[in-house]
Amino acid sequence: MAGQANQEPDLKTADPELYSLIRKEDARQKDSIRLIASENYASRAVLEATGTSLTNKYAEGYPGRRYYEGMDFVDPIEELAIRRAKALFGADHANVQPYSGSPANLAALLALCEPGDTILGMSLPAGGHLTHGWKISATGIYYHAVQYGVRESDNLMDMDQVRSLAREHRPKLIWAGHSAYPRTLDFAAFAEIAKEVGAYLAADIAHISGLVAGGVHPSPVPHADVVTTTTHKTLRGPRGGLILCRKKHRKAINKAVFPGLQGGPHNHSTAAKAVAFHEALQPEFKAYARQIIANAKALAEQLTARGLELVTGGTDNHLMLVNLTNRGLGGRHAAKVLNDCGVELNANAIPFDPRKPFDPSGLRIGVPSITSRGMTEAHMADVARFIDEGLQGAARVDPEGYTAAADFVAPLRARVQEFCGAFPAPGIA
């Protein structure tokens, strides 16, 4: 009887309001075609690791050098994650403690640069990331940031401009990476430029780390001083960050992460990262990475066949950018309508975009999530059809007066839900 009295309530009992919202989110993820390029489905094993007693434990410091006792199992867990990350990417050193990709990028700068140093990165409007020196980010506030872009003629990365800017400004560090660029990055070319001007090379592979791990995108590890990434996106792990570096930068990187930027690591996330690295080391993950590329190319072809204009004309990786100008649509309205129809993606600026950043001219579309659900090239025609029909509907309604009650929304959403029913959502009961 005493044991029953002390039994703790589960989430459904303890907080039915929150439980209901989580179950609704589960249903949304199962019933939607999720095309946000930075999202994915984590496996049941990854999700299970995130919900363990490890969340109860503080672990400031590093294995063997902690500020708290009780590290009997936390240290081996972090060491396991480190070993697996190093094996997966062939790196000299791995720091698995960053809370996400942005702190990982800040740690790279803190380790290798001084405030006020010049850094060179891809501009946000061209497809770069905020933390590569954009003016509203700490990386653009505390460092003298110079930005490179893409050519206006074909929207491809302009390596001649990168070299010219590097020679002119002599940056302390050069970023190679993006958040919305659909083509392969030439890390060897970046390394050559960095060597010429005496700069560190930092590669941010947050979007493509799963493709690198799967062998379908060149690795920056042989070329870069530091490599940063998130552990979700194409890598299919928990929300978190990872830093890989050369042996000579190990102490500086570790010191920058803790105590430079963070307190104790999130041990439950560290454990889930270890699970994800283990999964990515399996042969099945390479097949998954190959399928991402195949799906992206097939979807790009299907969208083009439907008259949609793709930035750079296609894709080499997991994402593509659609220029909606020829449809007379703004990206924000289009994304809202598609979401109501069960197709989840995001509005995104295109290079040299004439529209405002909050309502840009483009859409960013990624295939990691639908690939995780088992969709293949054969299903991309259906996905493209749903996108096209949603955009046609969006063009027929006034953005100011639009509501999800529009006549085309419910029928399209029902078809999307039926389509999704054939593809189980990993990790979700």
pLDDT tens-place string over residues 244-259? 999 999 999 999 999 9
Residue 409 tokens read as 């929304």
Q: Which of 34, 57, 172, 233 is an active site residue?
A: 233
203 and 220 in contact (C-beta within 8 Å)? yes
Reply yes or no on whether 233 is catalytic.
Answer: yes
Task: List pLDDT tens digits, range 48-93.
Answer: 999 999 999 999 999 999 999 999 999 999 999 999 999 999 999 9
For residue 401, give the DSSP letter: T
| Residues 244, 368: Cα–Cα separation, whole Å | 23
Reply yes or no on whether 239 is catalytic.
Answer: yes
Q: Which of 26, 48, 60, 186 is an active site residue?
A: 60
Residue 33 tokens read as 């075609």
Reply yes or no on whether 117 is catalytic.
Answer: no
Looking at residue 429, what is its pLDDT? 63
- Which residue is listed with tokens 């069960």? 342
Reply yes or no on whether 230 is catalytic.
Answer: yes
230 and 209 in contact (C-beta within 8 Å)? yes
CATH architecture, range 286-420: Alpha-Beta Complex (3.90)
| Residues 371, 373: Cα–Cα separation, whole Å | 5
Residue 406 tokens read as 């529009």
Q: Which of 31, 158, 204, 316 is an active site residue?
A: 204
Task: List pLDDT tens digits, range 175-191.
Answer: 999 999 999 999 999 99
Give the residue from 367, 131, 365 showing the smallest Cα distance to 241: 131
Task: List pLDDT tens digits, range 21-55.
Answer: 999 999 999 999 999 999 999 999 999 999 999 99
Region(s) of the chain under CATH 3.40.640.10: 49-280
State CA 408 to chain mean position distance: 32
For residue 373, give the DSSP letter: T
240 and 273 in contact (C-beta within 8 Å)? yes
| Residues 262, 116: Cα–Cα separation, whole Å | 22
Reply yes or no on whether 142 is catalytic.
Answer: no
Reply yes or no on whether 60 is catalytic.
Answer: yes
Q: What does CATH list as the number for 49-280?
A: 3.40.640.10
Which strands make up the sheet holding 346-348, listed edge to edge? 309-310, 319-323, 362-366, 346-348
Residue 98 tokens read as 């960053």
Q: Which of 23, 86, 151, 239 is an active site residue?
A: 239
pLDDT of 1 higher than 60: no
Looking at residue 5, what is its pLDDT? 54
pTM for this predicted structure: 0.95
What pLDDT band is residue 116 in, cutting at 50, 70 and 90? very high
Region(s) of the chain under CATH 3.90.1150.10: 286-420
364 and 348 in contact (C-beta within 8 Å)? yes
Q: Which of 23, 26, 52, 58 is an active site residue?
A: 58
Helical ranges in 65-114 per DSSP H: 74-89, 101-112
| Residues 92, 32: Cα–Cα separation, whole Å | 40
Amino acid at 39: E
